[in-house]
Amino acid sequence: MSTTIAAPATSRASRIDHLDQLEHRSVHLLREAYASFPQLAMLWSIGKDSTVLLWLARKAFFGHVPMPLVHIDTSFKIPEMIQYRDRLAAEWRLTVIYGQNEDALAAKQTFPDGNVDRLTCCGNLKTEALRRTLSGEGKRYRFDHTLGKYVVDTNREPYTGVIVGARADEEGSRSKERYFSPRSGENNWNIADQPPEFWNQYATEFAPGTHVRIHPLLDWTELDIWEYIERERIPTVSLYYDQGKGERYRSLGCWPCTKSVVSDAKDVQEIIVELKSGRYANIAERSGRAQDKDDGGGLESLRREGYM
Amino acid sequence: MSVVSGSATTTRPRRLDEEGLPFDDDTTPNPFRAIADPAEVEARMGIVIVGHVDHGKSTIIGRLLADTGTLPDGKLEQIKDLCARTSKPFEYAFLLDALKDERAQGITIDAARVFFRTPKRRYLILDAPGHVEFLKNMVTGAARAEAALLVLDAGEGIQENTRRHAYLLSMLGVRQIAVVVNKMDLVGCRQEAFDAFARDLGAFLATIDMTPAAIIPVIGREGDNLAMRSATMSWYTGPTLLEALDAFRSQGEAVDGPFRMPVQAVFKFTNDGDDRRIVAGTIDSGRVRVGDEVVFHPSGKRTRVKSLEAFNRVAPSVAGAGESAGFTLAQQIYVTRGELATLAHEPQPVTATRIRASIFWLGARPLEVGRSYTLKLGTARVSVHLEHIERVLDASTLESVTDRVAVVRNEVADCVLKLRHPIAFDRAAELAATSRFVLVDNYSISGGGVVREALRVEAHASRSGSGATVALRPGVLWLTGERGAGKSALARWLADRADRSGARVEVLDDDTVGALFPVGASRTEQDLRVRRLAWFASRLEAHGAAVIVAVDSPEDDARRYARSVSSELVEIHLHAAPEVLATRGAARDVIDYEAPLQPELRLDTGRLSLDEAGAEVIAWLQEWSSQS
């Protein structure tokens, strides 16, 4: 499923410095998270950002990924995404766990079924599914490397630390995030009262019934992500590249709500050129994501309730 | 003055329709994107922008984004439309108010990040709020910055917050600063008014040892002296704001200082077939090379670096400040998170249990004498007790107040802290990075500070003390140390002096529990024995006994287990030089004894007599029971 990865460019030393700077900070944050939270998980959306995050975990832990990767499967994900997920799980020996809102799916309370609007659908299949999977109320399915398939996970302990690939440049509300962001048991985010962060010290203490979200990619931009993918030759899902039809996905989500964009970028290098000087140099990354528009404040309403 | 709207840089034609993108009519692009061009740039520089509420920081940033062409297509029009629909006059500050509740409240509530670039380099602007309630966000922004912009209002002058912010910037270690005198139109753009400001401000900054790189008269709303030189204030010949930013020097990382790396973790992924044991951490200063002799503090253990490790690149031979590094050791010594790695041939850090520190307090609940907090410095954590407040500094007048028993939010104070166990640090005057700590109160970071110096621990009990007695509370006194260190003797000594008014005392040593918990042959059996004993001790403790444990417990993990099952465990590490142990006829251990990293008390029984060692324990117990 991975696409051709172009040979690394002979980047100038200054660019390497910038990516190194980002990498070192992210690695530091990942190690702090690992040292601080016994019940730690990393969210893996299969997209480029959380895949870079996964790669950074391999950097931080010298080739290992010592925490489960949690994927919320809405059942409407583009099929290539699931194939790519399971392929990497097997190749890199990852502990992959997925969760779903099985009640909402059974009751067909979804936008593709025509019963609810887009935002409610996101709320049901992502936010609520995530909340239940993190708390352990919902079933967790773990990839069993011996059997080569998913089995129900016996660990139902709530995750107290959750690593997320949010970037500050994605949209307004994310620019307000902390690297370590405490959330209440109901996943609520109190934007006006966030802990201070300075001198490499973070909110690693947490009261019973709460958890902490960790954002190692906060300082990365979309361009940084692609340049790092190129430098490190990180395998990414083929949907990001034009397969000859003159279109590609810039941001991945559920098929009913994610549209491809017009582009003939066929590999990582061509995407970087497109982002720097091409047609998308001045257009927001999530412009192909419909649910953002149904809410005046961007993702803010969704994020307050726990959306990633 | 420049024209406000309709400039070519902010109204590019939108191409969404032609490209066939859906939902183009109300798309919400964001203002926080880097606009890349192929120009060569340095790594990103963090700039914090601070100042009193309403002095115009957000306006200045909004205007900078617009004038440097950093806004995405349509953003300016979108905000203008919104203003028209809601009958509000347009302001550049709205560009930053990306959150709905910010617009409602009308003040910036957090250190928002704004990316933009000049032809010289890229910037991360951290917009710190001016509202007095939100000082902690300013600290968050300033701590990440290499330079600061201090904004003040020409119509209002130097306010309390201006002084407070400048003082905190100096304490946080931000040494490069440019002052922006905004709203110059309110004083008629007059040079005399500006010169008066510049004089007053320069005089104040000098008292806190700061020299501004530039003091710039601007009109944020109109863009004067931001990206473009002001026509109205032609008398000003200094740099524009953009020129001042580009003139800041990138400070880089402190690779020239002595090597300091707080240990984040020691990784061993044996289950994945990886036998490397890797000491990992982010280097705060200096460099480390393969073959260097490293010393860990406070344990004092030392060995050589065998290899530097990395994933998906060639293993380096040297790692320096700013890098998240990892190395293996030539000898298998026991080190863990919380220690500070240094190089043997370089200046060493200080280890102490009592310190003088300058602290700024951000918590809603005051910092109070007599209360306990968690101190985090590097990766070390220690329970501390606020012993004394020497003086509280009024950050706006820089005058000090003595005789205080509490420090309230937004105040800065010099304090004496007593640490429950020793940690390693550097003095602020010598090495800033490893002098910095935060204080945690009730799960949240509530203050920060720098260590000024280590202080002597005052003796509370006479060293002769053989006649002293002690009323022991229910709990576990865990004596640990190599064979021959004197555990059993000290346990008996303490039991003999336990006061009848205290809890009943049980001594668990090889004489009393040897039959019940036989000494195992293998390391695993020994470990199991210690854990069983620990559990047994915790049961006795739960029934009100004071339990003194004095058996071999070489593994730190097992002792941690003991701590986890007991409600109050005091770990006392007895040690003595190898020659001393040998004279005591103790069989030389083949096992690797793992000294505790953070015992409550360490006693050198090679130098102290039994009476002296016992008196130290009694003094320590008395002090802690008086404090908690």
Q: Where are the domains of chain A?
A: 13-221
Range list of β-strands (E), B170-329: 176-182, 214-217, 261-262, 265-267, 278-282, 287-289, 293-297, 302-308, 318-320, 324-329
Whether residue B248 contacts residue B147, with contact meaning beta carbons closer than 8 Å, is answered with: yes
Position A216 scores a pLDDT of 96
Task: Categorize the per-residue pLDDT at A4 as very low, low, confident or very high, splitting at 50, 70 and 90.
Answer: very low
- Average pLDDT rounded to a whole number, residues B423-432: 90
Mean pLDDT, residues B475-501: 86
Per-residue pLDDT for B465 more than 70? no
Instruction: Tell me: pLDDT of B253 over 50.
Output: yes
Is the CB of B320 inside 8 Å of chain A's CB atoms?
no
Residues of B designated catalytic: 553
Whether residue A66 has a cis bond before it, omega within 30° of 0: no
Query: Which of these ranges, A283-292, B304-313, B324-333, B561-570, has the smallest mean pLDDT?
Result: A283-292
Chain A CB contacts of B128 under 8 Å are: none
- Residue A31's pLDDT is 97
Specify which of A15-29, A273-287, B416-430 reaches the highest per-range mean pLDDT: B416-430
| Range with top average pLDDT, A185-199, A277-291, B315-329 | B315-329
Q: Say if residues B442 and B541 touch (Cβ distance below 8 Å).
A: no
Mean pLDDT of B190-206: 91
Encoding tokens for residue B498? Answer: 């336990």
The two counts, helices (H) then strands (E), for chain A are 9, 10
Choose from B284, B434, B444, B451 for mutation: most chain A CBs within 10 A: B444
Q: Is A197 within 8 Å of B112 when comparing Cβ atoms?
A: no
Q: Is the pLDDT of residue B158 over 90?
A: no
pLDDT at B103: 37
pLDDT at B366: 93
Residues A11-34, mean pLDDT to the nearest whole number: 79
A193–chain B nearest CA distance, Å: 9
| CATH fold for the domain made of A13-221 | Rossmann fold (3.40.50)
Give the least confident one: A135-149, B49-63, B583-597: B583-597
pLDDT for the residue B628: 55
Residue B282 and residue B326: Cα distance in Å, rounded? 8
C-alpha closest to that of B448 among A201, A29, A180: A201
What are the chain A neighbours of B428 within 8 Å (beta carbons)? none
Q: What is the Cα–Cα distance from B469 to B477, expressed in whole angstroms?
A: 16
Find out whether B23 and B15 touch, Cβ atoms under 8 Å: no
pLDDT at B351 over 70: yes
Is the model's pLDDT at A297 over the cut of 70? no
DSSP state of B127: E
B338 vs A contacts (CB less than 8 Å)? none
In percent, the amount of chain B with pLDDT more than 70 equals: 83
For the beta carbon of residue A6, count every other beta carbon within 10 angstroms.
14
The per-residue pLDDT for A176 is 65
What are chain B's domains?
42-247 (3.40.50.300), 261-343 (2.40.30.10), 350-454 (2.40.30.10), 475-627 (3.40.50.300)
* Min Cα–Cα distance to chain A from B110, Å: 6
Q: Which of B65, B251, B443 is best to mutate for the A interface (most A CBs within 10 A)?
A: B443
- Check whether B13 has a pLDDT greater than 70: no
Q: B274 and A200 in contact by Cβ < 8 A?
A: no
pLDDT at A189 over 90: no
**Looking at CA atoms only, how far is residue A102 from chain B in angstroms?**
30
B16 contact A CB<8A: yes
Pairwise CA distance, residues B239 & B17, whole Å: 42
Which pLDDT value is given to residue A3?
A: 35
ipTM exceeding 0.90, yes/no: no
pLDDT tier for residue B396 given thresholds of 50, 70 and 90: low
Between B402 and B285, where is the model more confident?
B285
Lowest mean pLDDT among A64-78, A194-208, B324-338: A194-208
Report how far residue A265's alpha carbon sits from residue A288's, in angstroms, rounded to the nearest whole number.
16
Biggest CA pair distance of chain B: 94
- In the predicted structure, residue B481 carries a pLDDT above the cut 50: yes
**DSSP E strands, B76-207:** 112-117, 121-127, 147-153, 176-182
Please give the C-alpha separations between residue A13 and each of B42, B556, B616, in angstroms, as whole numbers. Answer: 9, 45, 58
- Please state, in angstroms and rounded to a whole number, the distance separating the CA atoms of residues B24 and B305: 57
Q: Average pLDDT over chain A, rounded to whole?
A: 82
Separation between Cα atoms, residue A131 and residue A134, nearest integer Å: 5
- pLDDT tier for residue B55 given thresholds of 50, 70 and 90: confident
pLDDT of B619 reads 84
- pLDDT of B577: 82
- pLDDT for res A63: 93
Contacts of B438 in chain A (CB under 8 A): 198-199, 201
If residue B85 lies in a helix (H) or strand (E), which one and from where to where?
A: helix B75-85
User: Which has the higher per-residue pLDDT, A142 or B113?
Assistant: A142
Check whether A286 has a pLDDT greater than 90.
no
Q: Once rounded to an integer, what is the mean pLDDT over residues B426-453?
A: 90
In the stretch 579-608 of chain B, residues with CB closer than 8 A to chain A read none
A268 token code pair: 């990582």
* CA B348 – CA B355 distance, rounded (Å): 17
Whole-angstrom Cα distance, residue B594 to residue A76? 54
